[in-house]
Amino acid sequence: MADESRTVLEMRHITKRFPGTVANDDVDFDLREGEVHALLGENGAGKSTLMNILYGLYHPDEGEIEIAGKPVRLGTPRAAIDAGVGMVHQHFMLIPVMTVAENIVLAEEPTHGRAFLDLREANRRVTEISERFGLAVDPKATVQDISVGQQQRVEILKALYRNADILVLDEPTAVLTPQEAKELFEIIRGLTAQGKSIIFISHKLNEVTEVADRITVLRRGKKVETLPAAGATEESLARLMVGREVLLRVEKGVSHPTEVLLEVEDIHVFDDRGIQKVRGLSLAVKAGEIVGVAGIDGNGQTELIDAMTGLRKVAAGTVTVGSKDVTHDSAFGHFHAGLGHIPEDRQRRGLVLEFSIAENIALHDYRKAPDSRFGWLYPRRLVQRAARLIREYDVRGGGPATPGGSLSGGNQQKVVLAREIDRNPLVLIAAQPTRGLDVGAIEFVHRRLVEERDEGRGILLVSLELEEILSLSDRILVIYEGEIVGEYTPDATEEELGLAMTGGGRGQEEVA
Amino acid sequence: MSDLETPSPTDPSGLGPEVRQSLMGRYDLAQKAGGLLAPVLTAVLAFFVGGLVVFATTGKNPLATYRAIFDGAGFNWFFPWVTGLERSNAAANMQQTLIITTSLILTGLAVAFAFRCGLFNIGGTGQYIVGAVLGVWLGSSFAGMNSFLHILLAIVAGSLGGAIWAGIAGFLKATVGAHEVISTIMLNWIAIWVGVFLFGLGGPLQNDTQTYVPISNDVLDSAKLPVFWGDPLLQGLHVGFFIALGALVVFWLLLNRTTLGYGVRAVGFNPEAARYGGISVPTNYFLAMAISGGFAGLAGAIDILGWQFRLATGDVQGVSIGFVGIAVALLGRNTAIGVALSALLFGGLLTGTSTRNLDPEIFKPELASNLTLLIQGLVVLFVGADIIVLWLMARVRRRRPA
């Protein structure tokens, strides 16, 4: 936008060290009035550290910050808010049982005589700012009843209510549907038109080029470059982020599906609270194909995966792996029937963080020869296998004895991948296999999944990232409220899928 | 188990150190962050604060008091310049220290093993009592039995008894999710009152000769553990000491060289990942508790066969060794070597401050044994507050230019 406009924020020579790493190394960052400045970088590049410094959560070891031309010391979030900085976290900080207005005015409530909450005034003020900035919300609605996209608006309004001029949006589209993301971009344009300045943190290249005016790329704690968004391509940005050429498109040939390896028939699954999450769902995965399951978070994907992998009771229906009925088997039974499972949450489930890489790789097979015999473990054999897989899968940052927890996210995922694939499973269930990974690691995981498909495994990919589903899958199933509501070919558009994901595509199945 | 499936809130900042929620995870972190230094520092801090209390309450020189405890525990036996009568005294004291160390190693291992599975076994006392009761019952029966077999029988039975006792808590945890802290505490009281009933007046295991004394029969000579250092009549050091050393090795091998130990540790670090990996979490809860109780039961049987030889109702009610075991395991960071060292430390403290050993000129013995309790409490406090110790260490490190 306007290049001559006033600079509202200037961060100079910011350095922040943590034991063992330099999270920010002499980083400069500035923000002009009315612009969207995207902060781009892989995980661990230092984006969040920089923004947490701006929000008063961390103190920089070196460097200075100026807001509206005045040097400031942001010791606490309170100081940052007072200086006009608002932050919308990736995970919302809202109280679900309170109303929209109550959440927005929280800690700065209008009162009668400093003692009694003036709800009418709160509703009035919320309505006023929501109209002024074009963020339609119902102030009296309870937060838990509104959609994720609306909750995000509430977060933005919360910042605006506190007179934020600088808004930090941390990966704001991660939780949104494509349609909601479009609406968010409209909101962002509206805000900048009214003079607000926005820092947009993301690792999604297409969004950044769409919404930002300028882009700053961080890599390993250092600023690589600040460039105007006009003229930047996804390829050039990826190269800046990773430091080398990256293949953004997955290269894959035509699939040649053969026999059915995973068959789920009419299963019903309940969650921990006894609410039915999967309602009579059926699907089949054949050898040599990648089947993608697209859907918005919370539509039964987690329960479906758990039920298919023996981690949750199947109330009705059957699950067959190969030719074996494993419906009522434990996770152990599933693994030994030929299932591989890349879990949704590698820190909570995929790895024992305190275990060494060697021990983590032995997780499914430590009770069998050659890992052990008659209950006696042979650690050296564990180490040998780990050493081989570390080489094969290019795991960096440690050897067989390194604890899983000290690896980066991408390398942790490589360990999980190595373990699951090396067992030579018939079917691989990959749940959000690239969540939180950086571009380089995503490329690795995607390539590997396609290779395994070509090896003749069946792969079920469950992901919240539509782009990932579209670029990897040979067939796409859309899950909505615990049911498969449509099957699509990979040339379906994001809009088509997005509509089906929100229940709009019901009934109009388009079978490949 | 449904309580394992609640989703974890992911770290919103996305950059803090890895989320380590489990009990064992936290200890692991403390161990890695502090290494050997943290437990040593913890002990030093506890002794320092203990010294301050000595000075504040009695005005005595804390260093002289600690020196007296050191000698009272027989640690001066290690100094070659200590000779003559002083040396034989030191040897006798050292034997007492090692007798207590023996049972502390075992009760410490009992707490540590459960800890490695993420369980807090507070029931060492009850499991110890069950082991002691079985030890005294079997040890005082079967006159004329081959000595080796007699000892083996009593020890194995005592250990099994402890295992079953703790296994009850493990079983309840595994099946209905009853918290092991609550159930082991309740099992402690059941063990205590069953013991009082058994040896009390008219009780089924009360002795046959003195019907007015609430005490068991004496352990027969054939079941007594041989003494290898010192005078058997003056409570020399029995071979149970080697059984405890062997238990340390077993503990280490079991955890690090067996599939059972792998499962126990996996569950202890991250039950959800273990479950995902195909490991049965309930089975491991049960096994870890049972093995843990086996160590404590072994301690009870060995004490009976090694030096106590009989059990009175008052002894049953006064068992505190199970609780000291908690402090031993905490200070020893739940490792074999750590438990060995901290058991020796606490064994020395208990012996050094007992009425018999401490020079009354220097410090009133009845105060001194309270000093043990004080230091014990401080250790638990400081270990529990390991964050404080780590924080102090981090501060010191920051002051020093890197």
Average pLDDT, chain B: 85
Q: What's the pLDDT at A400?
A: 92
Sign for the pseudo-dihedral over CA of B187, B193, B199, B203? negative
Q: State the count of interchain CB pairs (< 8 A) between A and B.
A: 110
- Asked if the structure places residue B371 within a domain, the reply is yes
CB A5 within 8 A of CB A33: yes
When pLDDT is cut at 50, 70 and 90, the band that residue A77 belongs to is confident
Instruction: List the domain range (segments joined by +) for residue B373.
Output: 20-399
When pLDDT is cut at 50, 70 and 90, the band that residue B264 belongs to is very high
Q: Give whole-number Cα distances, B150 to A385, B12, B139, B145, in Å.
A: 47, 62, 7, 6
What's the average model confidence in pLDDT over B361-382?
Answer: 73
| Range of weakest confidence among A494-503, B33-42, B141-150, B177-186 | B33-42
CB A352 within 8 A of CB B273: yes
Which of A48, A310, A376 faces B14 most closely, judged by CB atoms? A48
Residue from B302, B301, B264, B256 nearest B280 by CA: B264
What's the average model confidence in pLDDT over B354-361?
Answer: 64
Q: Which of A18, A61, A352 to mutate to test the interface with B (most CBs of B within 10 A)?
A: A352
What's the average model confidence in pLDDT over A79-95?
Answer: 88
CB A172 within 8 A of CB A88: yes
Q: What's the pLDDT at A467?
A: 85
Residue from A70, A88, A76, A40 nearest A196 by CA: A88
Q: Do B20 and A405 touch (CB under 8 A)?
A: yes
Task: Tell me which range, A114-118, A203-207, A370-374, B357-361, is most confidently predicted by mean pLDDT.
Answer: A370-374
Residues shown for chain B: 402
- Asked if the structure places residue B382 within a domain, the reply is yes
Q: Which residues of chain A does B25 touch, with a Cβ-Cβ cutoff of 8 Å?
A: 353-354
Residue B216 has pLDDT above 60, yes or no: yes
Distance CA B340, CA B251 (A): 11
Which H/E stretch holds residue A155?
helix A148-161
Residue B382 has pLDDT above 80, yes or no: no
Distance CA B328, CA B42 (A): 12
Question: Could you report the predicted ipTM of this complex, rounded to two decimals?
Answer: 0.81
B5 in A contact zone (CB under 8 Å)? yes
- CATH number of the domain to which B88 belongs: 1.10.3470
Question: What percentage of chain B has pLDDT greater than the value 70?
Answer: 83
Average pLDDT, chain A: 89
Which of A90, A91, A364 faces B278 most closely, judged by CB atoms? A364
- Nearest residue of A to residue B18 by CA position? A405
A163 in B contact zone (CB under 8 Å)? no
- Asked if the structure places residue B185 within a domain, the reply is yes
Q: What's the pLDDT at B358?
A: 62
Q: What's the pLDDT at A480?
A: 92
Distance CA A31, CA A7 (A): 6
Q: What's the pLDDT at B353?
A: 80
Q: What is the largest CA-CA distance in chain B?
A: 74
Distance CA A366, CA B348 (A): 41
Q: What's the pLDDT at B55?
A: 83
Distance CA A46, CA A25 (A): 9
- Nearest residue of A to residue B255 by CA position? A377
Distance CA B149, CA A417 (A): 54
Q: What's the pLDDT at A144?
A: 86
Q: Which of the two residues, A266 and B372, has the higher pLDDT score?
A: A266
Which of B2, B258, B278 faces A330 most closely, judged by CB atoms? B278
When pLDDT is cut at 50, 70 and 90, the band that residue B18 belongs to is very low
Residue A278 has pLDDT above 70, yes or no: yes
Q: Which of B276, B281, B398 to mutate to test the interface with A (most CBs of A within 10 A)?
A: B276
Distance CA A277, CA A274 (A): 9
Residue B24 has pLDDT above 70, yes or no: no
Q: Which residues of chain B does A311 touch, with a Cβ-Cβ cutoff of 8 Å?
A: 5, 275-276
What's the average model confidence in pLDDT over B148-170?
Answer: 97
Q: What's the pLDDT at A42?
A: 79
- Nearest residue of A to residue B398 by CA position? A19
Residue B5 has pLDDT above 50, yes or no: no
When pLDDT is cut at 50, 70 and 90, the band that residue B393 belongs to is low
- Asked if the structure places residue B268 within a domain, the reply is yes
Q: Which residues of chain A does B279 touch, with a Cβ-Cβ cutoff of 8 Å?
A: 332, 363
Q: Which of the two residues, B42 and B385, has the higher pLDDT score?
A: B42
Q: What's the pLDDT at B387?
A: 55
Q: What's the pLDDT at A511?
A: 44
- Asked if the structure places residue B13 within a domain, the reply is no
DSSP labels, A176-216: S-HHHHHHHHHHHHHHHHTT-EEEEEES-HHHHHHH-SEEE
First CA to last CA across chain A, in angstroms? 45
What's the average model confidence in pLDDT over B129-141?
Answer: 96
Q: What tokens were used for B316? A: 């049953």
- Nearest residue of B to residue A419 by CA position? B277
CB A330 within 8 A of CB B278: yes
Where do the domains of chain A lie, and which CATH numbers do they carry? 7-242 (3.40.50.300), 257-338+453-512 (3.40.50.300), 339-424 (3.40.50.300)
Q: What's the pLDDT at B6?
A: 29
When pLDDT is cut at 50, 70 and 90, the band that residue B401 belongs to is very low
| Range of weakest confidence among B15-24, B278-287, B290-299, B312-321 | B15-24
**pLDDT tens-digit map of A150-173:** 899 999 999 999 999 999 998 888
Distance CA A449, CA B35 (A): 41
Q: Is B261 helix (H, G, I), strand (E, B) or coil?
A: helix
When computed from its CA atoms, the radius of gyration of chain A, rounded to whole angstroms, is 25
Q: Which of the two residues, B37 and B278, has the higher pLDDT score?
A: B278
Residue B7 has pLDDT above 60, yes or no: no
**In A134-190, where do the E strands start and end?**
166-170
A401 in B contact zone (CB under 8 Å)? no
Q: What's the pLDDT at A171?
A: 85
Q: What's the pLDDT at B23?
A: 55
Residue B74 has pLDDT above 50, yes or no: yes
Burial pattern B315-349, b for ≥16 Cβ within 10 A else e, equals bbeebebbbbbbbbbbbbbbbbebbbbbbbbbbbb
- Asked if the structure places residue B337 within a domain, the reply is yes
In the numeric block, the tokens 């540590």 are attached to: B112
Distance CA A75, CA A80 (A): 8
Q: Do A331 and B18 touch (CB under 8 A)?
A: no
Q: Do A376 and B259 touch (CB under 8 A)?
A: yes
Q: What tokens were used for B384? A: 């529990």
- Asked if the structure places residue B5 within a domain, the reply is no
In total, how many domains does chain B have? 1
What's the average model confidence in pLDDT over B272-283?
Answer: 94
**pLDDT tens-digit map of A380-397:** 999 999 999 999 998 888
**Backbone dihedral region for residue A216 (phi beyond 0: left; psi -120 to 50: alpha; all else: beta):** beta
**pLDDT tens-digit map of A448-458:** 999 999 999 99
Residue A220 has pLDDT above 90, yes or no: no
| Range of weakest confidence among A117-131, A180-194, A491-505, B340-354 | A491-505
The neighbour count for residue B18, using CB atoms within 10 Å, is 18
- Asked if the structure places residue B194 within a domain, the reply is yes
When pLDDT is cut at 50, 70 and 90, the band that residue B14 belongs to is very low
DSSP state of A243: S
Q: What's the pLDDT at B11?
A: 32
When pLDDT is cut at 50, 70 and 90, the band that residue B25 belongs to is low
When pLDDT is cut at 50, 70 and 90, the band that residue A76 belongs to is confident
